[in-house]
Amino acid sequence: MIPEEFIEQINKKQIAAFRELFNAFYRYLVLYAVRYLKQQEVAEDVVQDVFIAIWESDKEYNSYHGFRAFLYDSVKNRCLNYLKHQDVERKYATEVSLYQDEGDEDYRLMREEMYRALHRAVDELPERCRQVFKLHLQGKKNEEIAQMMELSVETVKTQKKKAMYFLRERLGRLYYLLVILNIVDL
């Protein structure tokens, strides 16, 4: 496809152009993201998030080369944001671990209350999203969940993202504490 036609179709949200976008750039953008993140699955999620953002955005692109640069900049920025977030979590985890004593009764009660809050919030999720997330909490991998529920791996990832977004909104700071304590993982 001619680059100008491609950009025009991307701007018009034509599915064929997004298929071509995926086929032409996905592998390269994931490899680019892996350079920053050192984790294949996280890199794939970052690239998928960029594609979704482009699909949902009203932004119009003027040129193929500008659009290509925008793709790589978007992936880089999301990678850097992810790494910053991870750094904040590590610092917070260090602080929390200073006060954490597994044998401490207060800690045990606090942990039980966090579990209750998490499960109350999980119960508010839509049915399929809840089922996927509960399997995730049991330690099942995306592929296992997809096979068990007869879904695609992409659908499982999407449902997990929806659940985590909902839980972040519902639980606020408690969500990040649950992540740090490895009760929930990103």
Average pLDDT for consecutive 10-residue bins of the chain (186 residues)? Answer: 86 91 94 94 94 91 92 95 83 64 65 82 90 86 90 90 87 75 60
Domains of the chain: 3-82 (1.10.1740), 101-180 (1.10.10.10)
Query: CA triplet 27, 11, 9: central angle to 5 degrees?
Result: 75
Contacts of 74 by beta carbon, 8 Å cutoff, 6+ apart: 50, 53, 54
Q: What does the pLDDT read at residue 11?
A: 92
Distance CA 171, CA 129 (A): 17
- What pLDDT is recorded for position 73? 96
Helix 153-171 and helix 142-149, axial crossing angle in degrees, nearest 10: 110
Q: Which residues contact 133 (CB under 8 A, 6 or more apart)?
A: 122, 125, 159, 160, 163
Contacts of 126 (CB under 8 A, 6+ apart): 162
pLDDT (0 to 100) of residue 91: 74
pLDDT of residue 104: 64
Single pTM value for the model: 0.53
Torsions phi, psi for 176 (to 5 deg): -70, -35
* pLDDT of amino acid 43: 94
